Amino acid sequence: MKVLANDGISQSGEDKLIEYGFEVITNHVPQEELVDYINSNKIAALLVRSATKVRTDIIDNCPSLKFIGRGGVGMDNIDVAYAREKGIVVSNTPAASSQSVAELVMAQMFSISRFTHLANREMPESGSEEFKVLKKNYGKGVELAGKTLGIIGFGRIGSALSSYALGCGMKVIAHDKQPISSTMPVHFHTGQSFEVEIESGSMDDIFTKSDYISIHIPKQNDGSAVISAREFAKMKDGVRIVNAARGGVIDEDELLKAIESNKVAYCALDVFENEPSPRKDLLESKRIATTPHIGAATLEAQDRIGTEMADKVKEALLG
């Protein structure tokens, strides 16, 4: 049986699929050519990340397709319920990249606290001539320790982030649709851990109490933003926000207004509404630190995603 990893797969994942007896194809097929390619090659399993969309046209017109896998957390690029109605197994790897995304959020919070995203732009250009000026400009950072981090969405990624933040001396308020434990373990490389208290709060608690806000929920079914003008108005002046979840969770127009009014001091974005062509005013803003949707893109996470997905393909197609 053939597996098409249309958005790529780690070498360890590919090796495991081959070990299980699958023929693995890693060529990227353009979206408009997928139906013909799947049918002409009798693809049994289609593996995607966030780039490839698996909608009703593929589901209805590719009878050989028995498994759709999404490497990572969200599956909003797949018509999951419809595929399952048609008897196709749909699965993802929600735990494999949690640590990687949480670490990127911590890096982003440090960056927008100490202006490293700006200093890294300007030092190569003018550091030799304007060293003292840059030092003065970027010498007014803030510390994470003692600040309150509000986490919207407390699944695997939110939980992993809270452990890092607690280890840095931050207070954590978390909001989720599911009940939240009152304590969170902070782990050490020695295998030791200790429990630290966290606060479970409403969305309004997050907005009114947080110095930093990190978002870890999927895009809403109706496409509406979770954070728009009304939510920005409730926040502390000078709040810092990180979005490494999904583009569209924050209203980008209202974000720019909130930055202009100084309601939001700085923001970090790993995801955008118009990927892979995000709007330039976001990318060019000196008060927004940007990365190109790399939350799960560590070597360790890719290995975990690939091998876990290989096991799921085997289970679905070979039993």
Among 1.10.10.10, 3.40.50.720, 3.40.1210.10, 1.10.3720.10, name the CATH number for the domain at 98-290.
3.40.50.720
The confidence score (pLDDT) of residue 58 equals 98
303 in Cβ contact with 10 (< 8 Å): yes
CA distances from 229 to 107, 126, 232 (A): 27, 37, 5
Q: Which pLDDT tens digits describe the chain residue by residue (319 residues)? A: 999 999 999 999 999 999 999 999 999 999 999 999 999 999 999 999 988 999 999 999 999 999 999 998 889 899 999 999 999 999 999 889 999 999 999 999 999 999 999 999 999 999 999 999 999 999 999 999 999 999 999 999 999 999 999 999 999 999 999 999 888 888 888 989 889 999 999 999 999 999 999 999 988 878 889 999 999 999 999 999 999 999 999 999 999 999 999 999 999 999 999 998 999 999 999 999 999 999 999 999 999 999 999 999 999 999 8
* 68 DSSP β-pair partners: 46, 90
Which phi and psi (to 5°) does residue 228 adopt?
A: -135, -155
Q: Write out the two tokens for 97.
A: 């990249």
Query: Could you tell me if residue 178 is left (phi over 0), alpha (psi between -120 and 50 degrees) or otherwise beta?
Result: beta
Task: Read off the pTM.
Answer: 0.89
Catalytic residue, candidates 103, 122, 199, 275: 275
Whether 2-96+299-318 shares its CATH topology with 98-290 is answered yes
Q: Is residue 300 flagged as an active site residue?
A: no
The confidence score (pLDDT) of residue 188 equals 87
> Which residues are within 8 A (CB) of 306 and not within 5 positions of it... i.e. 6 or more apart?
9, 10, 11, 12, 13, 14, 16, 71
In terms of Cα–Cα distance, which of 88, 86, 68 is closest to 78? 68
User: Cα–Cα distance between 169 and 103 in angstroms, integer?
Assistant: 16
* 25 DSSP β-pair partners: 4
User: Cα–Cα distance between 51 and 276 in angstroms, integer?
Assistant: 8
Q: Write out the two tokens for 111.
A: 């960056």
In terms of Cα–Cα distance, which of 304, 291, 243, 301 is closest to 99? 301
Provide the residue ranges of all domains of the chain, joining segments of one domain with +.
2-96+299-318, 98-290
Q: Is residue 273 flagged as an active site residue?
A: no
* 269 DSSP β-pair partners: 243, 290
CA distances from 252 to 77, 151, 156, 275, 278 (A): 20, 19, 26, 13, 10
Which phi and psi (to 5°) does residue 7 adopt?
A: -110, 20
CATH node for 2-96+299-318: 3.40.50.720
Catalytic residue, candidates 216, 293, 304, 308: 293
Q: Is residue 275 flagged as an active site residue?
A: yes
In terms of Cα–Cα distance, which of 214, 248, 227, 225 is closest to 77? 248
Catalytic residue, candidates 49, 70, 175, 246: 246
